[in-house]
Amino acid sequence: MSEPTIARKAPYVLPTLPGSYYWCSCGKSKAQPFCDGSHAGSGFNPVKVDITEAKTVAWCGCKHSKNGAFCDGSHAKLP
């Protein structure tokens, strides 16, 4: 798989507590926006994100963000 699967064409806006999170980069996880291991054998790997304070995070759902795990609006440009 050379292109990630688009999980959805919108961010996952979630209240997020401090801690380490593994964002799904392949788009196959059933636990979106986080990794559940579905990437195995795909060439994709989860992206570790450390959140230092409680806040609302717009996690990328389309998997095409130029801002890593965070939404940058790229979903608006997808076909």
User: Each residue of 3-59: pLDDT tens digit?
Assistant: 999 999 999 999 999 999 999 999 999 999 999 999 999 999 999 999 999 999 999
| CA pair distance 55, 15, nearest whole angstrom | 6
**Residue 8, CA distances (Å) to 17, 27, 46, 51 in order:** 23, 9, 17, 23
65's enclosing H/E stretch is none
User: What's the predicted TM-score (pTM) here?
Assistant: 0.94
| CA pair distance 27, 4, nearest whole angstrom | 6
Tokens of 46: 């989860």
**Phi and psi angles of residue 50, each rounded to the nearest 5 degrees, phi first:** -100, 120
pLDDT confidence bin for 74, thresholds 50/70/90: very high
